[in-house]
Chain A
Amino acid sequence: MLASIAALPFLGFLLLSLAGRRLPRIAIAWIGAGSVSLAAILTVLYGIHFLQSSPDSGVDRWLLWQWFTAGNLSVSVSLSVDALSLVFIFIITFVGALIHIYSTGYMRQDRDYARFFACMNLFVGAMLVLVMADNLVLLYLGWEGVGMCSYLLIGFWYESPANCQAANKAFLVTRIGDTAMLIGLFLVFSALHTLNIPAILEQAPGHFTKGAPNITLIALLLLAGGMGKSAQLPLQTWLPDAMAGPSPVSALIHAATMVTAGVYLIARMHTLFQLAPAAMMITALVGGVTLFMAGCSAMVQTDIKRILAYSTISQIGYMFLALGLGAWSAAIFHFFTHAFFKALLFLAAGAVIEALHHEQDIFRMGGLKARMPLVFYTFLAGAAALAALPFVSAGFYSKDPILWYAWSSRNGNAFLWGLSLAGAFITAFYCTRLMLVVFGGEMKTRVRELPGKAMTIPLATLAVLSVVAGCIEWPHNLLHLSLFSDLIQKVLPAPVLKEQLPAEGIFQLAAVVVTLLGIYTGYLLYHGEKSILVRWQRSPGKVMTRNFLLGGWGFDQLYDTLFVQPFLFITRVNKTDVVDRVYEGLAQVNVKFNRLLSTTQNGSLRWYIAGVLIGILFIITLQLVL
């Protein structure tokens, strides 16, 4: 059953990629969406079975075949599922299925219908392998596999050079992280002589001393892998550009699943991170700084998908923060709710974009509330969850614990808490801005057509989940309901708190107040007192700040001057290969000598005879002298 969950999307991929162009569109839709939906159903069945009669170890293993064995390295293709994997599998298949269904409507007019679903299916399959992998090599297979699918789907509309550029950038930037992670793998192997995840987790505490440089380095390298995939500072630059892909792709890959692979990796290897407190601290800092910086950038974007992209980076920053704080289950829970509401936001944004003739600038939208009520309400549910509106949204339940742990956990401090609180304010602000600008005011672009059933049903489902999915886990001072963390804590340890903490309620209140303040500010600027904005637009300092944030804090320019230009310069200068020039020079010298000697062959008979004579005389002299 485990294997068939992962095999179904692969099967879909094979069918679609080999025969896709000969199949009718309806068959493509059924295969593409069907395989993932079937996998989702199987996952639900399997999940029920797993929860009811979970095996003693809490892990379900399935050996498919021995992949390769060389020397003392033995790697198998085997799947294993525990509670952590199960959460991810559920999100991947379930949200994946909804997005596939949505795509049957969204992509219905695209020429490369089959290619789209083939890539999407391959992505789901690879992502499932990633989270089911029993060893790090197989995990790496899934890891690179999703990267490739992301590349293919960002560049799905390959005829525009900008899309291809974005696809290349995404692949390359993540590849840098991937390579760091690979080096981490090698270090793990040279220390422990195994790449099997359970074995690593079991042997690591005995092998490494806590805080030793080698384990810290390993943890940091794994973190670098996660930073690449999850678009965290300083490898975040690819994600905003990745929005060049179709909206369902952004929803599935660049919001719900793939970009959270880094979170999965760190959670999966939590034992290694716990042995390296410095790496944990850096993880938390990376998360904290990322969530703040990306949030700031999200505030000023004008492209609806780029706003969401930056908000994704920011929300994953929260997850990394939680991971770094040791609040493992909080991080996974935020991933869980985030998958719903962020997928919803992207799908709804896609519906808006399609209805407005592929218009993505929010300032040319507006007034859509009346024209597209369903999209409006679903978008509202998603935005509320993103802003973590208290009690009525899933985001609140998952973000609140992170804010609390940012202070209260052993790693927590005022700086991290401040960052996360500022992030909460910023998030609430840009959510309000987004809602008001897109759906409020007057209509600026005419709506072409409304989304069909294939698109609205997934939207509605996700909207409901975005509202209620958080209720399975309540802040423990309010209601003692912790279904999710009970499940996760079978695999991951519970957070360690400081002693003598102030009451949790104070922090919750602060978070709620800040959120509401953010919403109010947004309301004020974009609905109430619009004159403030107009005034700001005349101040050069503010405009400069805005442009700086709009460009994502200038990282692209920085990398361009630091890495891209020097690299291009080196390759351009050495295009004809300096080594070849050396050989060419050798050949030239030979030719020169040839010219020199061939001048003696002048065709004059007497010159030749003189030569012979001199030669004879020379030999005779030699004979006489010696």
Chain B
Amino acid sequence: MMLPGMIMTLLIGGLLSWMAARWNAVLSKWIALLAVGADLSLAGYWWFHFRDAASSGSSWFIDFQTGWIPSFGIGFHVAMDGLGLVLLLLTFFLGILAVLCSWQEIKERTGFFYFNLLWTLAGISGVFVAMDLFLFYFFWEVMLVPMFFLISIWGDARRRYAAYKFFIFTQAGGLLMLLAILALYFIHGRQTGTYTFDYFSLLHTSLASSVSRWILSGFLIAFAIKLPAVPFHSWLPDAHSEAPTAGSLLLAGLLLKTGAYGIIRFVLPLFPRESAAIAWWAILAGVIAIVYGALLAFAQTDLKRLIAYTSVSHMGFVLLGIFSFSEIAMQGAVMQILTHGISTGALFVMAGMLKERLHTRDIEQMGGLWTSMPVMGGAALLFTMASLGLPMLGNFIAEFLILLGTFSASVPLAVIASFGLVLSALYSLRMVRKVFLGPADLPLKDLSVRELLILAAMSIGIIALGLYPQPVIDMVRTTVRQLVTR
């Protein structure tokens, strides 16, 4: 009952905060904060509660199942394993920061904003626990629609364009996935006589390779768009740069991760043979994303767009890690999901803070900000260093593990991917130089207590993951092992 409760908290919290905003906007913020906070503490509790279970090798901690539309074999089946728990923790951690960082930024229709924010979070957390393919699709859409509103209502100048682009891309992928799910449903039903959307039942579907290739591509394209892999990435820079800060944070930190999660949870287990067959191509796609994203990031002058393209580059590493089929690389991919969520999220948060102060995203108009805001400069430097893969910070562990694992899959591709580290240094340092270094002429207010709190939480997170990532690795080990040894 706890998993549905977790999602319901967000759904009801969203409705309440919408209604509360009629009387009092501040109340609405607090309700949102409380709802996400409750879920964060719940996830934190689970973390400590299931830590021993994880190290002893049990894979599913919580499994909740009840009928939903029994006549079509649709059940409300949610379950959580180590991977899910780690991702839920990330979701609520970033969620609470998203609530906090919109505290001052959102002044119009506050209630509706928090409603959308919480419903997006509910959709995301639902995606991470749904074990029924129909339910998964349902949550996939639940996170999409409120996010569309977040971008199109509270976004920047080109928000309508960005929101539509985001919606069309994701929806196109979503429909392909729906087709693939239905195909799987009918094939499985015809084989066994029981028509069901249940993940664990569908795992045992035997598919002719010609059919499964089509179904696989349906899933894979949907997830590749979300990830995003080149050439499906072009919605991302627009959506990220036009969205409000909290929107960018959720997009970069969480929505992209649902793509990676989908590949790990559905593509690999459902189609082990076919995914092994396309592994080389997927790794190649990852390498292309790494290099191409970095090249684009280097050229940008719009700060948020620059960070958005670095996401493309970083998520290429995830593709690399997943399709290397080695335990090390897969662990790296999970780490990358976490650390990229935090580091890029933090960069977006800071871009938002700068935008609040300067009313521009153009880095050509910034420069020398260190003088007036050294605290933020320090934080920005930390996360830039994280994003270029400096050891001591979480991203290094992730990229190191991924590259090390990829070496066993394909040496040339791993070598090219390694040089992605040089490219990441190029764009990261350019960003720092353009924004924070150089002659100072803008007197700005440094971080407020609320902003400091947000960045401090993220800094501690990224440093902790860099210095002691073992708990995360232990938590997802069972899941990862099952994937690799299959």
- The answer to the question of B75 belonging to the interface, with a C-beta cut-off of 8 Å to chain A, is no
- The answer to the question of A593 belonging to the interface, with a C-beta cut-off of 8 Å to chain B, is no
A172 touches B425 (CB 8 A): yes
- The answer to the question of A144 belonging to the interface, with a C-beta cut-off of 8 Å to chain B, is yes
- Nearest-Cβ distance from residue B321 to partner chain A, whole angstroms: 11
**A167 to B298 alpha-carbon distance, docked (Å):** 17
A186 touches B327 (CB 8 A): no
The stretch of A326-334, A500-508, A570-578 in contact with B is A570-578
On chain B, the residues within 8 Å of A160 by CB distance are 439
On chain B, the residues within 8 Å of A579 by CB distance are 230-231, 233-234
Q: A70-B401, A580-B234 are in contact. Are A141 and B429 (CB under 8 A)?
A: no
Q: Which of A160-193 contact B (CB under 8 A)?
A: 160-161, 164-165, 167-168, 171-172, 175-176, 178-179, 182-183, 185-187, 189-190
CB < 8 Å neighbour of B327 from A17, A71, A155, A161: A71
A571 touches B299 (CB 8 A): yes
Q: A65-B468, A144-B390 are in contact. Are A70 and B327 (CB under 8 A)?
A: yes
- The answer to the question of A73 belonging to the interface, with a C-beta cut-off of 8 Å to chain B, is yes
On chain A, the residues within 8 Å of B401 by CB distance are 68, 70, 73
Chain B residue at smallest Cβ distance from A174: B425
B368 touches A159 (CB 8 A): yes
Contact string, B398-422, partner A, CB cutoff 8 A, digits 1/0? 0011011101100000110011011
CB < 8 Å neighbour of B299 from A72, A155, A572: A572
CB < 8 Å neighbour of B407 from A17, A21, A65, A186: A186
CB < 8 Å neighbour of A168 from B299, B368, B429, B477: B429
Contact string, A181-211, partner B, CB cutoff 8 A, digits 1/0? 0110111011000000000000000000000
CB < 8 Å neighbour of A68 from B233, B414, B469: B469
Q: Which of B356-387 contact A (CB under 8 A)?
A: 368, 370-371, 374, 378, 381, 385
- The answer to the question of B104 belonging to the interface, with a C-beta cut-off of 8 Å to chain A, is no
Chain A residue at smallest Cβ distance from B425: A175
- The answer to the question of B326 belonging to the interface, with a C-beta cut-off of 8 Å to chain A, is yes
- Nearest-Cβ distance from residue A126 to partner chain B, whole angstroms: 9
- Nearest-Cβ distance from residue B456 to partner chain A, whole angstroms: 10
A-B contact count (CB 8 A): 130
- The answer to the question of A555 belonging to the interface, with a C-beta cut-off of 8 Å to chain B, is no
On chain A, the residues within 8 Å of B110 by CB distance are none
- Nearest-Cβ distance from residue A617 to partner chain B, whole angstroms: 36
On chain B, the residues within 8 Å of A171 by CB distance are 425, 429
Q: Which of B306-348 contact A (CB under 8 A)?
A: 326-328, 331-332
- The answer to the question of A69 belonging to the interface, with a C-beta cut-off of 8 Å to chain B, is yes
**A66 to B468 alpha-carbon distance, docked (Å):** 8
Q: Which of A252-295 contact B (CB under 8 A)?
A: none
- The answer to the question of A553 belonging to the interface, with a C-beta cut-off of 8 Å to chain B, is no
B296 touches A186 (CB 8 A): no
On chain B, the residues within 8 Å of A571 by CB distance are 295-296, 298-299
Chain B residue at smallest Cβ distance from A152: B381
B391 touches A140 (CB 8 A): yes
**A487 to B433 alpha-carbon distance, docked (Å):** 45
- Nearest-Cβ distance from residue B227 to partner chain A, whole angstroms: 14
On chain A, the residues within 8 Å of B391 by CB distance are 137, 140-141, 144-145
**A171 to B374 alpha-carbon distance, docked (Å):** 21
**A21 to B372 alpha-carbon distance, docked (Å):** 13
Chain A residue at smallest Cβ distance from B439: A159
Contact string, B197-232, partner A, CB cutoff 8 A, digits 1/0? 000000000000000000000000000000000110
- Nearest-Cβ distance from residue B238 to partner chain A, whole angstroms: 8
B422 touches A175 (CB 8 A): yes
- The answer to the question of B473 belonging to the interface, with a C-beta cut-off of 8 Å to chain A, is yes
Number of interface residues of B (CB under 8 A): 56
**A189 to B422 alpha-carbon distance, docked (Å):** 21
Chain A residue at smallest Cβ distance from B400: A137
On chain B, the residues within 8 Å of A70 by CB distance are 327-328, 331-332, 401, 473, 477
**A90 to B237 alpha-carbon distance, docked (Å):** 50
- The answer to the question of B392 belonging to the interface, with a C-beta cut-off of 8 Å to chain A, is yes
- The answer to the question of B71 belonging to the interface, with a C-beta cut-off of 8 Å to chain A, is no
- The answer to the question of A158 belonging to the interface, with a C-beta cut-off of 8 Å to chain B, is yes
- The answer to the question of A582 belonging to the interface, with a C-beta cut-off of 8 Å to chain B, is yes
Chain A residue at smallest Cβ distance from B293: A577
- Nearest-Cβ distance from residue A117 to partner chain B, whole angstroms: 14
B296 touches A164 (CB 8 A): no
Q: Which of B406-448 contact A (CB under 8 A)?
A: 407-408, 414-415, 418-419, 421-422, 425-426, 429-430, 433, 436-440
Query: Which one of B237, B404, B468 has the highest number of Cβ atoms from chain A below 10 Å of its Cβ?
Result: B404
**A572 to B440 alpha-carbon distance, docked (Å):** 27
- The answer to the question of B470 belonging to the interface, with a C-beta cut-off of 8 Å to chain A, is yes
A172 touches B378 (CB 8 A): no
B439 touches A168 (CB 8 A): no
B422 touches A575 (CB 8 A): no
- Nearest-Cβ distance from residue A586 to partner chain B, whole angstroms: 10
**A70 to B474 alpha-carbon distance, docked (Å):** 9
B438 touches A172 (CB 8 A): no
On chain A, the residues within 8 Å of B131 by CB distance are none
- The answer to the question of B252 belonging to the interface, with a C-beta cut-off of 8 Å to chain A, is no
- The answer to the question of A356 belonging to the interface, with a C-beta cut-off of 8 Å to chain B, is no
- The answer to the question of A148 belonging to the interface, with a C-beta cut-off of 8 Å to chain B, is yes
Chain B residue at smallest Cβ distance from A582: B231
CB < 8 Å neighbour of B300 from A141, A152, A575, A580: A575
On chain A, the residues within 8 Å of B430 by CB distance are 168
B234 touches A159 (CB 8 A): no
A158 touches B370 (CB 8 A): yes
**A186 to B328 alpha-carbon distance, docked (Å):** 12
On chain B, the residues within 8 Å of A67 by CB distance are 467-470
On chain B, the residues within 8 Å of A148 by CB distance are 385, 390
Q: A183-B418, A571-B299 are in contact. Are A158 and B407 (CB under 8 A)?
A: no
CB < 8 Å neighbour of A183 from B298, B300, B328, B415: B415
Contact string, A125-169, partner B, CB cutoff 8 A, digits 1/0? 000000000000100110011001001100100111100110110
B295 touches A189 (CB 8 A): no
Chain A residue at smallest Cβ distance from B474: A69
**A115 to B332 alpha-carbon distance, docked (Å):** 34
A145 touches B233 (CB 8 A): no
- The answer to the question of B33 belonging to the interface, with a C-beta cut-off of 8 Å to chain A, is no
**A168 to B401 alpha-carbon distance, docked (Å):** 26
- The answer to the question of B397 belonging to the interface, with a C-beta cut-off of 8 Å to chain A, is yes
A145 touches B437 (CB 8 A): no
On chain A, the residues within 8 Å of B414 by CB distance are 183, 186
On chain B, the residues within 8 Å of A71 by CB distance are 326-328, 331, 405
- Nearest-Cβ distance from residue A600 to partner chain B, whole angstroms: 25
**A152 to B378 alpha-carbon distance, docked (Å):** 11
- Nearest-Cβ distance from residue A570 to partner chain B, whole angstroms: 6
Q: A21-B374, A71-B328, A580-B234 are in contact. Are A164 and B433 (CB under 8 A)?
A: yes
CB < 8 Å neighbour of A159 from B300, B418, B422, B438: B438
Chain A residue at smallest Cβ distance from B164: A587
Contact string, B272-308, partner A, CB cutoff 8 A, digits 1/0? 0000000000000000000000011011100000000
Q: A168-B429, A172-B426, A179-B421 are in contact. Are A577 and B296 (CB under 8 A)?
A: yes
Chain B residue at smallest Cβ distance from A583: B234
CB < 8 Å neighbour of A190 from B381, B408, B421: B408
- Nearest-Cβ distance from residue B36 to partner chain A, whole angstroms: 28
A66 touches B470 (CB 8 A): yes
Q: Which of A21-68 contact B (CB under 8 A)?
A: 21, 65-68
Q: Which of A544-586 contact B (CB under 8 A)?
A: 567, 570-572, 574-575, 577, 579-580, 582-583
Known: A115-B374, A164-B433, A183-B418. 13 other contacts (CB 8 A): A68-B401, A70-B328, A70-B332, A71-B326, A71-B331, A71-B405, A137-B391, A144-B391, A158-B370, A167-B429, A186-B403, A575-B300, A577-B234
Q: Kindly list the 4 A-B residue pairs having the minimum CB-CB distance in the complex, ordered from nearest.
A: A141-B391, A71-B327, A571-B299, A580-B234
What would be 24 A-B contacts, judged by CB atoms less than 8 Å apart? A21-B374, A67-B467, A69-B473, A70-B327, A70-B473, A140-B391, A152-B381, A158-B370, A158-B436, A159-B368, A159-B440, A160-B439, A165-B433, A175-B422, A176-B422, A183-B414, A185-B404, A186-B404, A186-B407, A189-B407, A190-B407, A571-B295, A577-B234, A577-B296
